[in-house]
Amino acid sequence: MLRLLTLCVLICIGIEALNVENLLKSSNSELDNLNGVPEGTKKTLRLAKQVYLNLNKSHEHDFKQFFTFVHRHKREYADESTLKSRFSKFQLNLRHIDQLNKEDNLATYGVTKFSDLSSEEFIKQATGNILGDKSSHSSSDELTSVKGDYNYPKNFDWRTDRGFQPIVMDQGLCDSSHVFTVIAIAEGSYFRTYNVSVKFSEQQVLSCMENEGCSGNTIENSLKNILDEGVDYADDYPYTNWDSPTTQACIKDKAQYGVINIYRVLRDQPEEQIKQWLYWNSPIAVIIDAKLIQHYKKGIIGIKQPYDCSMVNHGAVIMGYGENEPGVPYWTLKNSYGTNWGEGGYFRIVRNQSTLQVNCQAAYAATSKGRN
């Protein structure tokens, strides 16, 4: 009975419970019997075994990590040349991860699902937000006024303090973070007005914008699209571009629900001002420099960089703020890389030092009753 239970655990857990070195030296039949692994990934693992047999011993430790990475993230490489190229990039990333962990004592960096991509490939394939030219707004209507002299709480989060629990999505290979950020703040503003959680359709905004959504866009254009055209529920218009860089054609006859009627997009704002907007209005869409989040695992990103808004490339959503036990102030941001990235799909950065260029551009929105 114990033997059967042990076998079941090994099969159910997968390669993490097995000896990678033994797998690399065993027959292909053991790879073929791995549970839950696509045939394309099994083919890649067989290629990896052949490469390993001729590998310089100085690279063996790194290659075992790479082998595990291929299995865990179901990678499929077309041929041996591609596999070797990806392993080379994986190795460079391992060295970069070591350096980041030395530089940043507040966060932990490690192997993620992006660890076989160069920094340039990561930015090109997994971001998608373009900085707008200037501050903009939808109308002369005022959003909820902020109170600079208000006694703001030390810690605040829309999830725990207001009950707004948005779904963490995965944008996949599509450069569409601009859509995920504005949908999140539309959902947040709707929740603030109606106290109801809804899931709106990223795919509809992505497909029905005038330009190619998977090539990136601005927060302003995405918000204006929702304001002018409305948006459907995600159940009726689900996201499909997570595995394709080609935008799905717009379906014109889908229902359109107006969900915001006011928005603000502002440049170069003090982080204290962003905190006040967050507290009184809705979650805040921001554009960041995403390079440091490629290898992020957990903790508070604290590496300082010169303030340079030309470096921003990715959208995220500020959901809360706080201080850790030593008193380091931080932002909590929602990302669009799925729940298997970061802290359940979220990440934290040091507040009040323009970490990741977080205050280059910020946007928030409001929903009036009767707008649904």
> CA-CA distances (angstroms) from residue 7 to 10, 13, 23, 30?
5, 10, 16, 13
Helix axis angle, 80-103 to 39-53, nearest 10° = 80
Rounded to whole angstroms, the Cα distance separating 175 from 181 reads 12
Q: Which of 362, 343, 342, 346 is nearest to 354 (CA)?
A: 362
The dihedral region occupied by 39, where left means phi > 0, alpha psi between -120 and 50, and beta the remainder, is alpha
Beta bridge partners of 170: 337
Rounded to whole angstroms, the Cα distance separating 258 from 231 reads 6
Is 158 exposed, middle or buried, given 0-12, 13-18 or 19+ CB atoms closer than 10 A?
buried
- Residue 276 amino acid letter: Q
Task: Count Cα neighbours of 53 within 13 Å in the Cβ-side half-sphere.
Answer: 10
Contact 224, 330 (CB under 8 A): no
Residue 227 phi/psi, 5-degree rounding, is -60, -45
Catalytic position from the list 93, 225, 281, 335? 335
Task: Count Cα neighbours of 139 within 13 Å in the Cβ-side half-sphere.
Answer: 10
335 is catalytic: yes
Rounded to whole angstroms, the Cα distance separating 184 from 334 reads 9
**CA angle in degrees (0–180, nearest 5) for 128-131-137:** 115
Catalytic position from the list 71, 178, 295, 314? 314
Rounded to whole angstroms, the Cα distance separating 367 from 361 reads 21
CB atoms inside a 10 Å sphere around CB 368: 13
Element (H, E) at 7: helix 2-13
Active-site residue set: 314, 335
